[in-house]
Amino acid sequence: MGRLSVNLCGIALENPLIPASGTFGHGYEFADYYDINCLGTFSFKGTTREPRFGNPTPRIAECTQGMINAVGLQNPGLEATVNEELPKLRAVFHKPVMANISGFSVEEYRTVAARLDREDGIGWLEINVSCPNVHGGGMSFGTSPEAAAEVTAAVKAVTTKPVIIKLSPNVTDIAAIAKACEAAGADGISLINTLLGMRIDLKTRKPVIANKMGGFSGPAIFPVALRMVYQVASAVKIPVIGMGGVSSAEDVIEMMLAGATAVGIGAANLIDPYICPKIIEDLPAVMDRYGIENLNDIIGGAHNG
């Protein structure tokens, strides 16, 4: 175990960097740029039972220090993911990968989880109860402790893999939802997904994106994400993956001090496809600057004293 190594739900990672779902495709796309085996792991594109084209275009809007997206869970569906996407990934990535699952019913979450549970090479199931860009699913399951717990229990019943629940920041008490997921058997929590935002075109006087509203991400949301990671890490005993506006080695260390065991990189991948290897390369020097010998020594460090 090197000084960057961490353990996420019983699986060792060489470093805590995890490109977030929706920003890294199925992974093999980024293998054209660099050896993606340098990553701790990554969470691949959210998978639903049936293929989804996603929301109407336009569905991306730039913002100061961020972006709004309403892609709407575009993905090839469960069977194409298993039969076409995962074989391409296995050819270039030789570590356990995180599968991200979305659904429009508890039964859909259960079905997709049960199928992906059988796939070698998948280390964790990340259950997205927090997508703000779809109607009738996604975030609707993550806005109440009872609904989030119901999805958690349903998935835990059909898998032997660690289950990580991805939470929405668009709630009043995120710690209560995290605690409900933990009580229902969750092995970890990841947060935050995007904040709900919008832009209006001054010329047309209409919303920029067809969906009107979408998920706001990027450096501007980092302080909100950090606060919520801190709150959730205080409330649960299971590992937390912190994400939201992370774009530097310093941000990674700050997230870990707030209580994150691993750190997700989202919108930054869309700005600079090399951002993850750059952060991994920068981490040792930044650790030295702040007197950090091993990353495990700082997890939750901001809660002390």
Cβ-in-10-Å burial (0-12, 13-18, 19+) of 56 comes to exposed
Percent of the chain past pLDDT 70, that is, above it, reads 96
Helices (H), 42-173: 78-80, 86-90, 106-117, 145-156
pLDDT 10s digits, 57-88: 999 999 999 999 999 889 999 999 999 999 99
Give helix 106-117 / helix 145-156 axis angle, nearest 10°: 30
Neighbours of 270 (CB within 10 A): 16
pLDDT 10s digits, 127-163: 999 755 444 544 567 778 999 999 999 999 999 999 9
What is the per-residue pLDDT for 135? 47
| pLDDT, the chain, mean | 94
Instruction: Return d(Cα 48, Cα 286) in angstroms, integer.
Output: 39
For the chain, the structural domain boundaries read 6-55+73-195+216-303
Which one of 9, 63, 131, 181 is the catalytic residue?
131
For the segment 34-44, the average pLDDT, to the nearest whole number, is: 98
Ramachandran category for residue 108: left, alpha or beta (phi over 0 → left; psi -120 to 50 → alpha): alpha
Cβ-in-10-Å burial (0-12, 13-18, 19+) of 31 comes to middle
Neighbours of 72 (CB within 10 A): 20
Q: Which long-range contacts (CB under 8 A, 24 or more apart) does 106-112 make?
A: 106/141, 106/150, 106/151, 106/154, 107/154, 108/48, 108/49, 108/137, 109/141, 109/151, 109/154, 109/155, 110/154, 110/155, 110/157, 110/158, 111/49, 111/78, 112/47, 112/48, 112/49, 112/78
Return the H-helix or E-strand segment holding 170.
none
For the segment 3-27, the average pLDDT, to the nearest whole number, is: 97
| pTM metric for this prediction | 0.95
The top-level CATH class assigned to 6-55+73-195+216-303 is alpha beta
**Contact 265/236 with Cβ under 8 angstroms?**
no
- Residue 131 annotated among the catalytic residues of the structure: yes
What residues contact 112, with CB distance under 8 A and at least 6 apart? Answer: 47, 48, 49, 78, 101, 103
Neighbours of 87 (CB within 10 A): 11
